[in-house]
């Protein structure tokens, strides 16, 4: 029995522009046949074990020819499998999706088409160019730019197209730009007609240049523009000066080194990306379980005898919960123990497990915890502190000063990431990093340690720290701190970075 093929449009590049149905198809795929320029995050949702087949094409290199792609779709479906053909943009807008559907229909393979947002409208929109506008343009056309305009018989009616449509959008036409311009002028479009080139539209690498039909070829050469490019011709291009929004964000195009633990980097990267940043994930630390969990396990067994448990990170919550499950216990083990969380991220990690903190400090630091507990009379209280192996001792010592009886247990290990040093070092030397973010003191320590004798290359970028404790660690390491978040959270760190650049 045949399987089924979904012909899915992945959209123009921004991963947020794929449709909900498109993502649902990927989540149940058994085979994914995907194109070039597909965002990797789409593939992350595909079930483990699914077969991944790359069939990308560029102007000069084809991983698979179209006939072979058609054959793959048919063969995989005939194996009874659910196949997703993931295509950039929209499958039916210069995407050869129609040819693939014809082949499936000819072989009696069930299929569905999931439309996607075409770069022909998305790239201009992200560049601040509406393809239609009530006062400027009432029509637009999408044309392949891949056809040679000098060939003897063209499928493009240049004479009617040049002046018969207000806005023209050419896709895959960068290599033919001089010939496209020449043909438009020959067929009646004025040399002073505005034109824009939008490269890698909707992505954080978007670039755009404007000119007229008479000047754009030279401007493109000067700018070194390379595919993929959407070419927009028409009076609507002049609206870009007023409507440009995507590239106007304060952090657009900035490269930020994200040094959080690998499992946590994506949350920070996502917030940065929303502000136009190009995040470079180089986790300075790897979170690992303790080698011998005996002491940690015993603390969980003894938990009902404690008055308080203070969590100073979401990592501590996860590590404790993992061992709780291994021991065959659940939230009832906490009994009447009061729970403290250093900040909202830690509180959220607890809430995900059905636990809600009794206390969270106003300032999300060890100092804030001590100030808050000093008002709660913890004299004589037995307090459990599950922490990282390199956690500073200030909290433990401060609790002793309040008359409490803290018990510190190592819940997880923080290790320098082996991959960090060389890649980070080279990017910093090449001036490719604008900002380094530090979300904890351990990320500072481990990045400096990983860079070794060349640690001073970190001075080539601005330093942004999640709070004063992390900033102090950075200064102690010899770095000049440029940005400190007033709210010690990941969103607070991103807000502080944006504010710093907004005021430049």
DSSP 8-state secondary structure symbol assigned to residue 310: E
Catalytic one among 35, 90, 166, 434?
35
| In contact, 31 and 51? CB cutoff 8 Å | yes
pLDDT in tens, 9-26: 999 999 889 999 999 999
pLDDT in tens, 421-430: 677 778 888 8
The average pLDDT across 302-306 equals: 94
pLDDT-based confidence at 150, cuts 50/70/90?
low
Domains annotated for the chain, with CATH where assigned, are 4-117 (3.40.1010.10), 121-248 (3.30.950.10), 255-284+417-502 (3.40.50.10090), 288-415 (3.40.50.10090)
CA–CA gap between residue 46 and residue 263 (Å, rounded): 19
Strand partners, 311: 341
The average pLDDT across 392-400 equals: 91
pLDDT of residue 468: 92
Residue 245 pLDDT > 70 = yes
297 catalytically annotated: no
Side-chain half-sphere CA neighbours of 176 within 13 A: 20
- Residue 480, φ and ψ in degrees, nearest 5: -95, 125
pLDDT of residue 420: 58
Alpha helices in 107-215 (DSSP H): 119-126, 158-164, 177-186
CA–CA gap between residue 38 and residue 15 (Å, rounded): 9
Residue 147 pLDDT > 90 = no
Residue 417 pLDDT > 70 = no
Residue 263 pLDDT > 70 = no
pLDDT of residue 318: 93
DSSP 8-state secondary structure symbol assigned to residue 479: P
Give the whole-number percent of the chain exceeding pLDDT 70: 94
CA–CA gap between residue 261 and residue 415 (Å, rounded): 9
pLDDT-based confidence at 148, cuts 50/70/90?
low
| Chain centroid offset of residue 432 CA | 18
Helix (H, G, I), strand (E, B) or coil at 487: coil
Catalytic one among 87, 172, 320, 462?
172
pLDDT-based confidence at 64, cuts 50/70/90?
confident
Closest CA to 258 of 103, 99, 427: 427
242 catalytically annotated: no
Closest CA to 314 of 258, 386, 415, 390: 386
pLDDT of residue 365: 83
Mean pLDDT of the chain: 91
CA–CA gap between residue 252 and residue 231 (Å, rounded): 22
270 catalytically annotated: no
Task: Encode burial over 350-379: b for 16+ CB neighbours within 10 A, e otherwise.
Answer: beeeebebeebbebbbbbbbbebbeeeebe
Residue 367 pLDDT > 60 = yes
- Residue 39, φ and ψ in degrees, nearest 5: -65, 135
pLDDT of residue 1: 77
Catalytic one among 23, 39, 57, 454?
57
Closest CA to 209 of 240, 184, 178, 182: 240
Residue 264 pLDDT > 70 = no
pLDDT in tens, 456-481: 899 999 999 999 989 999 999 999 99
């Amino acid at each position: 029995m045949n399987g089924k093929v979904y012909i899915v449009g992945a959209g123009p590049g921004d991963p947020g522009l794929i449709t909900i149905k498109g993502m649902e198809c990927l989540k149940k795929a058994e085979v994914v046949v995907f194109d070039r320029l597909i965002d990797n995050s789409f593939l992350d949702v595909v079930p483990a074990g699914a077969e991944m087949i790359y069939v990308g094409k560029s102007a000069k290199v084809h991983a698979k020819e179209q006939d072979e792609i058609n054959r793959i779709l048919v063969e995989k479906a005939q194996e009874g499998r659910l196949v997703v053909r993931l295509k950039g943009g929209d499958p039916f807008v210069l995407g050869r999706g129609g040819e693939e559907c014809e082949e499936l229909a000819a072989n009696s393979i069930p299929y569905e088409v999931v439309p996607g947002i075409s770069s022909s409208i998305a790239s201009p929109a992200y560049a601040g160019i509406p393809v239609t506008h009530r006062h400027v343009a009432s029509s637009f056309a999408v044309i392949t730019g891949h056809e040679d305009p000098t060939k003897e018989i063209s499928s493009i009616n240049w004479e009617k197209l040049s002046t018969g449509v207000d806005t023209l959008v050419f896709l895959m036409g960068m290599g033919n730009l001089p010939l496209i311009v020449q043909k438009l002028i020959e067929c009646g479009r004025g040399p002073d007609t505005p034109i824009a080139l939008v490269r890698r539209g909707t992505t954080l690498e978007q670039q755009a240049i404007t000119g007229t039909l008479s000047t754009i070829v030279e401007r493109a050469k000067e700018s070194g523009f390379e595919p993929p490019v959407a070419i927009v011709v028409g009076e609507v291009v002049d609206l870009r000066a007023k409507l440009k929004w995507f590239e106007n964000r304060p952090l657009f195009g900035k490269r930020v080194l994200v040094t959080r633990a690998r499992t946590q980097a994506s949350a920070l990267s996502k917030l940065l990306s929303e502000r136009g940043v190009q995040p470079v994930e180089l986790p300075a630390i790897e979170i690992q379980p303790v080698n011998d969990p005996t002491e940690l396990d015993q603390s969980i067994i003894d938990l009902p005898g404690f008055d308080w448990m203070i969590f100073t990170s979401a990592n501590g919550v996860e590590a404790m919960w993992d061992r709780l499950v291994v021991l065959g216990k659940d939230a009832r083990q906490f009994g009447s123990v009061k729970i403290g969380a250093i900040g909202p991220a830690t509180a959220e990690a607890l809430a995900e497990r059905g636990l809600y903190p009794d206390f969270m400090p106003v300032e999300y630091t060890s100092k804030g915890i001590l100030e808050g507990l000093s008002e709660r009379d913890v004299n004589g209280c037995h307090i459990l502190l599950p922490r990282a192996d390199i956690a500073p001792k200030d909290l433990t010592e401060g609790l002793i000063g309040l008359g409490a009886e803290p018990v510190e247990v190592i819940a997880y290990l923080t290790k320098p990431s082996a991959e960090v040093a060389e890649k980070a070092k080279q990017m910093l030397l090449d001036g490719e990093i604008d900002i380094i973010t530090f979300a904890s003191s351990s990320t500072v320590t481990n990045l400096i340690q990983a860079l070794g004798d060349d640690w001073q290359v970190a001075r080539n970028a601005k330093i942004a720290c999640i709070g004063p404790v992390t900033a102090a660690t950075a200064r102690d390491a010899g770095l000049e701190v440029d940005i400190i978040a007033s709210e010690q959270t990941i969103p607070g760190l991103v807000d502080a970075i944006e504010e710093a650049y907004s005021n430049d």
